[in-house]
Structure 1
Amino acid sequence: MEVKIDSSWKAHLADEFEKPYFLELADFVKNEYANEPVYPAPGNIFRAFDLCPFGKVKVVILGQDPYHGTSQANGLCFAVNEDVTIPPSLQNIFKEIASDIGVSSTNKKINLHDEKSRGDLSRWAKQGVLLLNATLTVRAHVAGSHQKRGWEEFTDAVVKELSKNREH
């Protein structure tokens, strides 16, 4: 099966894309997109991999599944596009970072997230943070709807491949 994903990841995951569970998952996801509103947009399913090539991964942040609200999911766990209200889970992440480094999350001198980009974490991904959900797709307004369909097996394989082939 042809999967549109960064070539560095394709080299490490090619066998995964041919396994029966992944072929069944691909059929399920295609059917869902054909019949239901599903997030993220099809071109963003593997965005986490496209923005963070295999050889650049320094850390993995693992989420559960994409945001299921309209215009929220963008292919990076916990992230949203510019001009989308920052969800509570991402607000909590920013608060924890601020607490860890000993500053207020509203401190204008130490800006944890650019006010313009707000919840867009693509800069993190480009710096080696793999922002990966355990489930890469979700039906609109139905949290967990694509769990136990094969995504978890795929993302487990991703983490195992990183553990095996990247220094940690």
Structure 2
Amino acid sequence: MSSDQPALFETNPEPALPTYTPEDFPFFHGPQALARNGLIDESWVPTLLPFSAQLRGIAQELAARSQAGERLLPDPALMLRALELPAEQVKVLIVGQDPYPTPGHAIGLSFATEAQVRPLPRSLSNIYRELHDDLGIPPAAHGDLSAWQDQGVMLLNQVFSVGAGAAGSHQKIGWTHISAAVIDRLNRCSPAVIALLWGNQAQKLAPQLDQSIILRSAHPSPLSASRGFFGSKPFSAINRELRALGREEISWQLP
């Protein structure tokens, strides 16, 4: 075989992992730039402004991890996606821990995935099972929960990034200070926000949500769903609380 002929069993090389500089993270450039580019709503700028230096520091840390070979999730432009929802429009807060560590899953909204992801993460499958048991809504075929966000449900992780295959790997890089500030802002909303706290980690936030309506249960993960998540009926409870507040209920049926 001549040297210019293709090998009989060629394999396609794995695509190179994206390598980032600090400037590649939109939040490196400050909250005003995030709002200007449509990556967060303008109402969150005052909340994030005191953390501008910390956001630059997080961008520098993530860039260093990227350059050391770590795959970062989700895409940098999606890390603060939960803040696309204007603060004054938030009716319900559903708190997650950190993004899914499986490449292609995380989209910046807690518990949600890209629409084409199959199979669904098991926590999300359990959420759909409880939604069916609670309200009779058949499980969606996809994991895109943005229709909930569009109705005022903030799907907020406490940590906004993760290393691929390493759940919890970014818990100590400063994100929790940012999410705590967001939660503090939501706690001062009127009418009160309904906070859904699934699992022990989320329930530690209860003291910060002392002016909010708190609903809590076990986490929907396979390890704990049978210990108090199944049967908790959170979706009907949320709509009941919204009616009491004189607010429009959430249509939990996903398109």
Give me the TM-score of the superposition, normalised by structure 2.
0.57
Please say if 1:81 is aligned against 2:105. no
Displacement of 1:112 in angstroms is 4.9
Count of aligned pairs between the two proteins? 155
Q: Which residue of 2 aligns with 1:153?
A: 177
Provide the rounded CA distance (Å) in 2 between the counterparts of 1:34 and 1:6.
30
Alignment counterpart, residue 16 of structure 1, candidates 51, 54, 67: 51
Please say if 1:60 is aligned against 2:93. yes
Q: Which residue of 2 aligns with 1:140?
A: 164
Change (3 A) 1:167 1:29: farther
Q: Which residue of 2 aligns with 1:125?
A: 149
Question: Are 2:129 and 2:139, in contact at CA under 8 Å, matched by a contact in 1?
Answer: no
Q: For residues 109-131 of structure 1, what are the alpha-carbon distances to aligned partners after superposition, in whole Å with 9 as ceiling and x for unaligned? A: x4453x3xx10001111111110
Question: Are 2:132 and 2:138, in contact at CA under 8 Å, matched by a contact in 1?
Answer: no
Larger radius of gyration: 2
Displacement of 1:167 in angstroms is 2.4
Q: Which residue of 1 aligns with 2:243?
A: none
Give me the TM-score of the superposition, normalised by structure 1.
0.84
Moved over 6 A (4+): none
Q: For residues 36-76 of structure 1, what are the alpha-carbon distances to aligned partners after superposition, in whole Å with 9 as ceiling and x for unaligned? A: 210001111111111x2211101111111101111111111
Displacement of 1:26 in angstroms is 2.9
Which one scores higher on RCO, CA 8 angstroms, separation ≥ 6?
A: 1
Structure 2, unaligned runs of 5 or more? 1-28, 35-39, 193-255
